Structure 1
Amino acid sequence: MRFIDDKSLNRLGFKTLLNRVETLSLYGNDKLKKLKNYNKGEEQELEAEFSKMEVFLKYSQSDRDTVRNIEGIIHRLKDIKNVLKNCLKGNILDDVDLFEIKVQGMLMESLNEYLEKFPKELEVFRLNDISKVLEALDPDGEKVPTFYIYDSYSEVLKEIRDKKKSIEKKIFSTSDIDEIGRLKEERLSVLVEEEQEELRIRQILSAEVLKYGEVYLENIDKIGNLDFLMAKVRFAQQYGGKRAKISTEMKISAKGLVNIEVREMLDSKGKNFTPIDIELASGVTIITGANMGGKSVALKTITENLLLFNYGFFVVADEAEFPIVDFVFFVSDDMQDISKGLSTFGAEIMKLKEVNVFLELGTGFVVFDEFARGTNPKEGQKFVKALAECLNDKDSISLITTHFDGIAQANMNHYEVVGLKNVDFNKLKTKIEISVNSMSLIQDYMDYRLERSDDSEVPKDALNIAKLIGIDEKFANIILQEYSKED
């Protein structure tokens, strides 16, 4: 079953976020490219991954020099998987291939010396012994990063090369044209013998490499896993990631949850990101609040961290608990699909059909951001209410933001963006009148925290915001009359 579609990942900016995970080698980068989510039943595997990350994090703080040396070696590794696979097919390796295998083997041996210092919890990364291959590729024991078909490989080869050198000396010492021609013919014949003997030796060496081809590939896999794990730890250190608890139930509990990109954007403007505290369970949770209140940011923040967790990363929060889910759907109000001739609402309905199939097959996390906003308000309210009631009967965790009244029922979880609820509007209006940027000032006063609510009505901050910006008084009075008709 598909975990999440590419369009949703792009909409969330998750692929861009993963670009910040910096591996040191092509092996680690390959692990990142082939990143897969953990599945139900793999809780122990995910717990083990988190434990290794936590142990490595502590170790890297206590022995930074060793970690730097490990990073330096991994950074120097080239991708030789194709060379090894070529060998495993029974093909004869050339000098360049044998050189690459020798150099990589030497680096693996050096790396293993540092990996031996790892705590027991990380011994899974220690490499297999490949000393026999290195002995074969370095018969003179010089331990230098070069390769050549050495004379010591074969007495026959040594004799052939000695003969070649002798002929070459004669060529350079004579001026007789006929003699030079004869010697060159003789040298050509010796060269053929040399190539044949070198080919025989390369066959022997390729056979030796073949014996350890799978061992090399296993070491490469370990290095890739280590490189990727170190990258995830650096990512956590850079952005404040913490280990989340694995929930055995369909529930999410988080304090101080952060969206990395939004936080950075606000930091660049000298503003602070408001972390999210929230508790979600199976069934539906409704989030209401004014426009500009950060509802969509809240959804993306929760979803982004759920994805990080399910892909084996630490989450950016003070503390959190997430479940492994079968699927994630993120349905937002920007889903217009021009290529299929669908409006936003049409695209949402198509996606809802797909969501319903997945809801019958497993338990996941479903987000609807302002569902049915693209249709008329009376019909839209009915659609959202029906959606909430349907999702509330499911075992999956569903999250809906809406600006429609009467959606949240007594048996549903309901959060409300605090917004401008506690603001002194007269004081704020005075500041706006002398401000050159009223929208920015309103955002500074907006309280983006989420708080539980028992009210099924959504906040009426829209009129207050309009007044603060400078709505016409007659227009405002008409709106007030419309509000009074609802009471």
Structure 2
Amino acid sequence: MRLSNVKTRNETGLEHVLHDMNVLTPFGKKHLKEFVPFMPGEETRLEEEFQKIEELLCLYGEKPQKIDLLLETFMDMKDVSFTIERSKNNALTVVELFEIKSLLLKMRRLSEILEGEELSQEFVLLGTAALLDELDPRNDRLDTFYLYDEFSEKLAMQRKKKRDLELKIRREQKQIKQMVESKYGISMSPKFDYVVSKSNKELVKIVHEIPELVVGDEDYMSVIFTLKNTEEIEGIIREMDALAVIIEDEELQIRERLSKRIYTFRESLLKNCEKIGKLDVTLAKAIYAKQHSCVKPIVVKDHAMEIQEGRHLIVEGILKSKGKSYCPVSIALKDGVTCITGANMGGKTVSLKLVGLVALLTQYGFFVPCREAKLGLSNYVHILIGDSQSMERGLSSFGGEMEELKEILDHSRERSLLLIDEIASGTNPIEGLALTKSLVEYLKIRPYISLITTHFDSVTVGQGIRNMQVMGLANADFRKLERELKYANRKERIDIIGKYMDYRLYSAESGEEIPKDALNIAKILGINDEIIGKAKEILDSSGWNYIETLKNEGERRKKDEK
């Protein structure tokens, strides 16, 4: 059973964090794709993961230059796992051998950088120096590769013979060149070429008659003459061709031998690639935590959550880009139902996503964007954001929402974390209230942490239901706010109200009057006083009973009409 689905990871912001991490190696990216969360019962393993992040954070703080060297080494790595597997029954090419040598050099570099540091054994690479010695017989440790003479005495000897023959040909050609230049009064290039313009037809004709020269090449402007090979030179060339076959065969045998040797190191090489991937991802976690002021969460056995001054990373990033500050949110949750009430613009949905993000980050072994966080691991995490639609199946907004709710309830089990945003907002208020209230009653007796945002204050009434209220405009200076709004345009007015909103949560006692932020916002945006007054009258006098009366009256009239 999976911890969460893709939609939940997207809605909470986990996928954004994974995408935003600076993972550099192909091995790290592969490890990231195969990421699995830590589940209840794996708290010890999760603590070990946090310990590794702390170790790298310490190294980052004390020796940042080493971190820079690690990142620089990571950036140049290529995935050669397929080449390693191919070396079993194939002679690797020179390029493939170069890639293996290059990887070995980078493994050696990583080991040198981390030598003497107190890090997890998971990051200590297995020894591969013997293989590097075989691929680098000159021991120059340069990031290049060639089938050096040092790989084989036979190869060295045959190559020397070939070079001697090449010198012999060149000496013979020099002598012929000197003779031709002296005899015919022409000057050839050091490459034994003589270029004649086609416009000089007479000279072209004359040079054609020189027996020691042949046409080597030509273009639309000129003819290029070169020395004609003598019988002696032709004989030397045939001898060189025979040597080339011998050299090529010897090089193949060397490549076969090196390939088989590489395969004997297969297990160590692949294990090191895995270790590098884990180091890359863990270092990326540490750097991300440092850059975003994240802290190590405290993992407890009980299924509960306590977030102190939590920040939703995506929202915080958007606000920072606009020069605005983020208002941190604190919340404590345990098994049972907690409702967050408040008007739109009050940040209820962001608080819901924050809880999901902190929970998922923790279970995937990340530090979290809070001043402090304490939580127990969940078996199942799901977020239901309103207006969930499936256009392919022709479902309405409400229908899609109900289908997803069914999925949540079918998959929920002990130690679930359910995050539900304004359920039934796509239907009429009376039925929406009834459905929300019924869902709350259903969930409050189950061993889940259920956090529900709602406009319906009345669903929070009753034992076993905790109510968290958004501070909203409760402490706002309305006179100052109205002055700022007086000459602002539409977009500016919304931004100004947002500036005065307090997104912190507080626990609202049963029976406590709920701040009427929706009416306050409507009023300061210029809605008619008569409408605002009537709305307050309805809320203050009979609330939903008044709306229920209107509904009953409508039904009675329909019956009378029939």
Instruction: Give the TM-score taking structure 2 as reference length.
Output: 0.81
Deviations 1:204-238 (A, max 9, x none): 11111111121111111111111111111110111
In structure 2, what residue type is equivalent to 1:467? K
What residue is the counterpart of 2:314 in the other structure?
261
What residue is the counterpart of 1:165 in the other structure?
163
How many Å separate the matches in 2 of 1:70 and 1:349? 50
Contact 1:381 1:405 (C-alpha < 8 Å) held by counterparts: no
What residue is the counterpart of 1:333 in the other structure?
386
2:458 matched to 1:406?
A: yes
How many Å separate the matches in 2 of 1:272 and 1:27? 37
2:409 matched to 1:356?
A: yes
What residue is the counterpart of 2:423 in the other structure?
371
Deviations 1:3-52 (A, max 9, x none): 22223333334323322211232222322233221222221111001011
What residue is the counterpart of 1:91 in the other structure?
90
In structure 2, what residue type is equivalent to 1:3? L
With 464-473 and 233-242 compared, the bigger mean Cα shift is at: 464-473
2:510 matched to 1:455?
A: yes
What residue is the counterpart of 2:529 in the other structure?
473
Equivalent position to 2:153, from 141, 152, 155: 155
How many Å separate the matches in 1 of 2:540 and 2:284? 58
Aligned-pair CA distance for 1:107: 2.1
Aligned-pair CA distance for 1:397: 1.2
How many Å separate the matches in 2 of 1:427 and 1:109? 65
How many Å separate the matches in 1 of 2:105 and 2:497? 62
Identity %: 36
How many Å separate the matches in 2 of 1:484 and 1:129? 77
Deviations 1:454-486 (A, max 9, x none): 236754322222111111233234334433551
With 453-462 and 99-108 compared, the bigger mean Cα shift is at: 453-462
For 1:80-479, list aligned pairs within 5 A: 80-87=80-87, 89-119=88-118, 121-174=119-172, 176-360=229-413, 362-408=414-460, 409-425=462-478, 428-436=481-489, 437-455=492-510, 459-479=515-535
SS of the aligned residue for 1:316 comes to coil
How many Å separate the matches in 1 of 2:259 and 2:304? 55
Count, aligned residues: 484
Q: Which runs of 5+ in 1 are unaligned?
A: none
How many Å separate the matches in 2 of 1:70 and 1:10? 30
In structure 2, what residue type is equivalent to 1:399? L
SS of the aligned residue for 1:241 comes to coil
Deviations 1:63-84 (A, max 9, x none): 2233322332222322222211
Q: Which runs of 5+ in 2 are unaligned?
A: 174-228, 544-562
Q: 1:173 to 1:311 in 2, by over 3 A?
A: same
In structure 1, what residue type is equivalent to 2:170? F
With 127-136 and 66-75 compared, the bigger mean Cα shift is at: 66-75
What residue is the counterpart of 2:26 in the other structure?
26
Aligned-pair CA distance for 1:434: 4.9
Contact 1:288 1:459 (C-alpha < 8 Å) held by counterparts: no
How many Å separate the matches in 2 of 1:159 and 1:268? 68
What residue is the counterpart of 2:8 in the other structure?
8
With 235-244 and 165-174 compared, the bigger mean Cα shift is at: 165-174
Contact 2:131 2:265 (C-alpha < 8 Å) held by counterparts: yes
Contact 2:11 2:353 (C-alpha < 8 Å) held by counterparts: no
SS of the aligned residue for 2:457 comes to coil
Contact 2:126 2:272 (C-alpha < 8 Å) held by counterparts: yes
SS of the aligned residue for 1:285 comes to strand
How many Å separate the matches in 2 of 1:12 and 1:320? 17
SS of the aligned residue for 2:120 comes to helix
Q: 1:171 to 1:269 in 2, by over 3 A?
A: closer
Deviations 1:88-127 (A, max 9, x none): x4222111111111122122112212212211x4343121
Deviations 1:264-313 (A, max 9, x none): 32234443211111111112211111221110111111111212111111
How many Å separate the matches in 1 of 2:516 and 2:542? 12
Deviations 1:357-407 (A, max 9, x none): 2114x5321111000000111111111111111122221211100011321
Contact 2:85 2:263 (C-alpha < 8 Å) held by counterparts: no
Aligned-pair CA distance for 1:424: 4.9
How many Å separate the matches in 2 of 1:464 and 1:174? 102
Instruction: Give the TM-score taking structure 1 as reference length.
Output: 0.93
How many Å separate the matches in 2 of 1:32 and 1:256? 28
Q: 1:451 to 1:50 in 2, by over 3 A?
A: same
Contact 2:310 2:354 (C-alpha < 8 Å) held by counterparts: yes
In structure 2, what residue type is equivalent to 1:156? K
Q: 1:206 to 1:427 in 2, by over 3 A?
A: closer
Deviations 1:118-152 (A, max 9, x none): 11x43431211111101111223222222222222
Q: 1:180 to 1:289 in 2, by over 3 A?
A: same
Contact 1:102 1:137 (C-alpha < 8 Å) held by counterparts: yes
With 329-338 and 418-427 compared, the bigger mean Cα shift is at: 418-427
Greater gyration radius: 2
Q: 1:269 to 1:67 in 2, by over 3 A?
A: closer
With 143-152 and 251-260 compared, the bigger mean Cα shift is at: 143-152
